[in-house]
Structures are given as structure tokens and as C-alpha cells.
Structure 1
């Protein structure tokens, strides 16, 4: 069976990191498909290749010199080439890129060169075949992935004997033009290749050992999550707790190909396994906690609302007209609350309130700001009684007021709103209740 291994920017940041990558790949002969991000930061003073390429584009766009940024790109990559004794692997490619920058150049093509050049170095170092992502990852003109075309391209590669390196983050349109994915898209490249290769597993190598149960900036030494479902990951990712692009889930989900989140700097750590379906296992309390700050709550009060149709829909349509997304909804008999991002709401607050009050014929529209949303996720919540009660009791003891509660019927998670000033305390309190000292 084939394993797909994707290495993030920190894993290919310098020659020392590439040596670690080589050790990992050579430790398992089934790691035949290697995906790489562009070379990232090796320290706080360093720059990501992708960021430097974006700066080159902006400077060129406004008629400013690009040599300073381009020299940093060249120096970083050629240093890796020299230190690994990979003479002349990318010299011509770098010179060709510099010449291309003297004329009109497409943004997507320019930015993709970070992965392209890093991939060439890595393939040469590993002794693997280099395959340009434009020959393997295909988009339709509407932006969707063209899976039949990608499967056909992969089948032409088989059998893969010595292994291949494919740059992440980009592919090609039907006319051959380069198209970028969103930032972090190399995760998606790896996931797609795991799908088309019917891989045994997809390994995502980064600079952290798996996914943690809570933000280590808020909770001291939080425990590592051993196994998490795709659904749980989506819930935590939405609140910002993720080390993998959330869209990377979909290509492997239906085939239940496991994703392993692993640490290039600590390869012996078992990391976190992400699965669609989990076999019978020992029950745990919670999978993880995550949160975001700076939300607002619009509470619409209307007498006899339960006897009418469409009141909530009308309020949501008002918000949509201002391009404001609803994060959560909570309802009662004669009132409902809509949680929205404060940054989106505040510039148009008075217009939004006036329109909702008029269109919904509401008695009142009350607004609260400075709120945080916190999600507690567990696939065992439905089977294990009393978990929500423990959350509320623990917060009650700490005199933390809950402004809103939201939970769906499948009980995968429970979301609460608290004041921004209680954000850190809330996460620590919940973690301590279920996992011990925080």
C-alpha cells in the first residue's frame, strides 16, 4: 500500500530540516508520494518564500524594485541547495523566474514557484521523480477539482517504484494556466493524492505533535488528542483550533483514509489520527475545546412570533444584505438571538437594527457586544449523560455568566457565549473539569 506524506513549510525551511524529512521518508518504504509546501521560516528573523513572492508581486505592481525580496528568495533556496550538495538543481529555474518578473506575470504562477522550487530541491535530495503539480492536480473553470482527470493522470504514473515529489498549493486549469488554492492548500493537495491513489494513510508532517485538546497559550501543557473524527475536527477548526486546512478533510472522508498529524522534529511521537468512522474504543470525556472572541448578539423580541412564519428568515436576510454571516442562532417563544462577528456588524449597526425592527415588525432589537464563543467537542457527548451539566456547574462555581447556549440534536458539541473578559478563564475552567489541572 502507498502512503502519502505532506511536509509543511517548517519541515523544509532549511537543509537541517530536509535531512529530517529524508530520514522520515527512508524509514518507511511505502512513503511513495511526497507533497511539499514552499520553504518556510527557520527562525523568527527569517521569511517564508511564499510571503516574499507576494511582496515581489506587490512591488512590481506598483512599479517598485523587487531585487531585495528576490535576493532573499534566491539566497534561501540556493543555501539549501549548496548545503545539501545539490549543485545546479534550481539555478536555471531561479534565473528564469527573475527574467519572467521583468515582464507581465500572473500572480498564481509567481506564487506557485515557492512550492515548485522547493519540490525540485526535495526530489533531487530524496532521489525521487519530480512531477509538476500542474500535471497532476486539475481544476475545472468553475474552481472545482476534476477528479476523473486526476485519477487518469495518476494511473499513468503507476507503478510508482522510486517515489515521486509533487509540489502542493497549486494545480492547473483546462487551458494549462496555474491556479492557486487558498493558503495552506498543500494540505489539500496531499489529501487529493491520497484519494486518487487509494492510499493506506495520509501523513501531514508539521512542527507540532498532533492536535491538542486546548490552546497551549491558554492552558498549560494541554493533552494531545489521540483520535479525532472528521466531524469533530471541523467543529474545532471552525473555532481556529487546527493544524491542517479544514478543506483537506473532504477528499479522504468518504474513503475513510486516516490522516495522521505528525511532527517532523519528533517523528517518534504517534501524533493525532483523524478518521471518518472510529471503531469501538475506550470512552473519553471531551475531544477538545476551542473558541473565538469578539462577537455580538442581536436579540429580536416580537410578541406572538411563534404564531407567524418567516420572522427569523427575514432577520437573516437583512444581515445577508449587509454581507454579515450568522454564526449561531438561539430561539425562544417570542424572541431569538443571532450571533455575528462584531467587526462585520459595528460599521452598519444602526442600519441593521433599524431594518430588522422594521421588516420583522419587532418590539425590540437588543444588541450585546464583547462576547466570545467557546465550543466543547466530544463524539461521546450523546452517549454520556451529564456532560453539559458538568460544563454549566463548573462555570457556575467560577461565577462565569453564560449569555447563550447552542447544541444540535446529534450532541457532537455544545457552544456557549461568555464575555470576552471571561474567555481565558472559561476555557481553563472547562479543561480542568474534564482533564485535570489547567
Structure 2
């Protein structure tokens, strides 16, 4: 049994959190390989180390001293070392980093030091061997992961050191240059390692007890999701649910390695298990897996008589958006019309240019834009086998006098996406949750 365990920033924010991590790791002998993020916020008014490092770089760029910011970083690590009575000379690493704070410092290198320093202290605290991610996580120049090279490096290291602590969030390119991932990339690092070692499970420890069926800021005490498929999680993550970095799914998906979301502050909680498929599963009262959404979309609608008899009208419009690198969220169509749903922020600076070119290429009878639209996804792997779920959803929204601007559902019937006005965003999520979960949760 091998478990890859990854701890997020909140799990290593203080010496007290370090001790919780140690208790968790040492409680299970299969937790041999630990991936760790940079130290996060101690409390809501505190700062994440990664944010402070980004801020240092911004100050350096504009010739502003970042000494006061770096002092905060230094104090965090020195406090953890002192309170845990660690012997590693982290002051030496901090002094070196301070001496490198000039305009020549590489952003990826600077920002990666949060994970690097945190992992050094955690390795000593656990009694595990520290391995720099640059010597273990390798990327090709196109950003893809070099699994073969990672496997070869890992096999050499693990022969000498069977228990490892690895910084998350970064690796190296073929020329040795450091490369960081997008924010939350430590989740991806853990997933890569789970793939390489063929782990039985990838435990992702954070500050929440799994994934909830709805945003707790909107729905009071929403039910926790016990089991969710990778595909369902992708749908929820894309629409705003952010417990796990959405790219963390891919390295483990094809090997069907489960991801277990767990709470460092409540280690006995069951958490949420993420798997590729669930065989022969009964719904057992679980009609929906979860609800998630995003605000601020725009709908461009093209109306043209006899459009169904023409070839290329929709393609011409999409070519315009591709020219401006605008991602399309949804594309509902009718006989003589189609609508393109895009993020308002992406289209706003170029809207008039886009509309002008669509007019020229498509020659529509009517071209309109609607703003302030929210997209809300209701996700469920049970949707295909249970009749009437769509009807219940639309009936519920009708009863609540919520007008629907867009409806989208793919043939796999895993989710239903509705577009409503931003003003109806919270009300829509509450209504859908109450309809399918009833008294299992309580709306605010």
C-alpha cells in the first residue's frame, strides 16, 4: 500500500499545523511520500508566503524596496523553526535569497522558494528526506510532463531514501531552468507523483472536510459529497468549485487512482473520494452530485433568415472569436439563430470590433448582446438513468419566477447548465438545491 499525501498551505501555516501534519503522516506507514505547498495564512488577516513572494517581485520590478515584505517571510520560517526546535539552518537559505533580490531574479525561482523552504523544515520535522522538485519533477519545453524522466529519477532516489518530502508547485525544464505551475499547482505535483509511483490512493489534505454539494456562502450547511467521479469534478471545477486544482485530475485519471480530499484540522472526517468510475452504484437518495456557477457572461445572438439552408454562418462567427483568442463557453442554436456565450471580461475590450466583423461575415438580420448573465451547472452521474430531473429543475425555476436565458445539456447527460441574470444567481442555486436535496441542507 502506497499513499501520496499532499498538504496545502493552510496545513503548514504554523508550528501547530506542522505538528498536525506529523501526527497524520506518522499514523499511517503507507504515507511515505509527502508533497507540500508553501506556508499559507495563519489566520484570515495573515498572508500566504506565495503571495508575499509575488509581491516582492512586483516591488523589485518598480524599484521599490521589498525589505519589509521579505522580513515577514523570514519571520514566518524562523518562528516555525524555533517553535518546533528544528536544527536546519534556514537562516542561511533566507540570507541567500535576500541577497538575490534584484531585477535579475527569475520570477519562477523566487516564487518557488515558498514551497522549497517549507518542505525543508517539514522534512526535518517528519524525519523524512528532502528532495528538491527541480531534481524530480520534469517538464518538456511545451509544458507537458516528462513521466519517463521523473520515473527514472524517482527510482534512483527511493533506493537510498524510502521516505521523501517534495516541494509542490514547480519543477524544471530540460535545461534545468525552474518552472512554476499555475496557482494551486501543488495539487498537480501530488497527482504526478501518484501516477509515477502507481499509488493506491492520492490523499489531498486541506482545510475543508471534502467537497460540498453547493457553495456554503449561498446554501446553509450543504451536504458533503461522499463520492464523485473525475468527470463530475471537472464540470464543477470549471464552473467555480475550487477545492482541487482541475489539472490534478489528469495524471491519475487513466490509472484510476482515487483522490481523497481530507481535512488536516479534522482528520477523522470521511472526506470526499474522487474516482474514475463507480460501478453498479445505486443513487441511494443522491439525485445530484453538486451545483456550481459563475457570474458575468455575455450572450451574442445572431439571427438570420433561412440560416439553416446556408453553410458556414456559424463557422464565420466562430472564426472572428478565434481571431481574438476568445474562449466560447456555450453555443445554443435554433433554426434561424444561434447564440455565443463568452466571459464578459474577455469580450468587453474588443466587443465592437467583434460585432462589426460578425456583421460583415455573417450578414445577420439582427445582432444583439446581453450582459450580466450567470451560468449555473447542476451535475449528476445519475441524471441519465433518472427520468424527470430536467423537468423538475425547470419547474422549480419557473415557480420561483426565475427567467432562463440559456439552456445547455450535452448527450452524456451529466449536467444541465442554465443561464440566468446575475441578480438571480444565488436564488437559482438555492432553489435547485432545495428541490433536489430538500431538508438535507438548509438554504440561507
The answer to whether the superposition gives a TM-score over 0.5 is: yes
Aligned length: 438
Q: Which residue of 2 aligns with 1:228?
A: 228
Q: Which residue of 1 aligns with 2:243?
A: 243
Report the CA distance between 1:282 and its aligned residue: 2.4
Q: Which residue of 1 aligns with 2:372?
A: 370
Where 2:330 maps in the other structure, the secondary structure is strand
1:55–1:161 CA distance, 2 compared to 1 (3 A): closer
Q: Is the Cα contact below 8 Å between 2:140 and 2:173 reproduced in 1?
A: yes
Q: Is the Cα contact below 8 Å between 2:61 and 2:103 reproduced in 1?
A: no
Report the CA distance between 1:162 and its aligned residue: 4.9
In the TM superposition, 1:4-403 aligns within 5 A as 4-102=4-102, 104-159=104-159, 162-283=162-283, 284-403=286-405
Report the CA distance between 1:161 and its aligned residue: 6.4
Q: Is the Cα contact below 8 Å between 2:259 and 2:273 reproduced in 1?
A: yes
Distance (Å, rounded) in 1 between the aligned partners of 2:47 and 2:412 = 44
Distance (Å, rounded) in 1 between the aligned partners of 2:293 and 2:353 = 29
Where 1:31 maps in the other structure, the secondary structure is coil
Distance (Å, rounded) in 2 between the aligned partners of 1:287 and 1:121 = 39
Distance (Å, rounded) in 1 between the aligned partners of 2:11 and 2:87 = 21
Distance (Å, rounded) in 2 between the aligned partners of 1:343 and 1:103 = 31
Root mean square deviation of aligned Cα: 1.2
Where 2:329 maps in the other structure, the secondary structure is strand
Distance (Å, rounded) in 2 between the aligned partners of 1:104 and 1:365 = 50
Where 2:219 maps in the other structure, the secondary structure is coil
1:20–1:312 CA distance, 2 compared to 1 (3 A): same
Q: Deviations over 1:74-111 (max 9, x none)?
A: 00000000000003441211111112225721111111
1:412–1:160 CA distance, 2 compared to 1 (3 A): farther
**80-89 or 406-415: bigger deviation:** 80-89
Q: Is the Cα contact below 8 Å between 1:81 and 1:89 reproduced in 2?
A: no
**8-17 or 308-317: bigger deviation:** 308-317
1:357–1:110 CA distance, 2 compared to 1 (3 A): same
In the TM superposition, 1:403-422 aligns within 5 A as 403-422=405-424
Report the CA distance between 1:354 and its aligned residue: 2.2
Distance (Å, rounded) in 2 between the aligned partners of 1:149 and 1:162 = 19
Q: Deviations over 1:349-396 (max 9, x none)?
A: 332222212201211112111111000000110111111001001111
Q: Deviations over 1:116-144 (max 9, x none)?
A: 00000000000000000011100112221
Distance (Å, rounded) in 1 between the aligned partners of 2:35 and 2:158 = 17
Report the CA distance between 1:44 and its aligned residue: 2.1
Where 2:228 maps in the other structure, the secondary structure is strand
Report the CA distance between 1:257 and its aligned residue: 0.1
Report the CA distance between 1:158 and its aligned residue: 3.3
Unaligned 5+ runs, structure 2: none
Relative to the length of structure 1, the TM-score reads 0.98
Q: Is the Cα contact below 8 Å between 1:213 and 1:287 reproduced in 2?
A: yes
Q: Deviations over 1:389-421 (max 9, x none)?
A: 010011111111111110001101010111111
Report the CA distance between 1:160 and its aligned residue: 7.4
Q: Is the Cα contact below 8 Å between 2:326 and 2:346 reproduced in 1?
A: yes
Distance (Å, rounded) in 1 between the aligned partners of 2:102 and 2:240 = 39
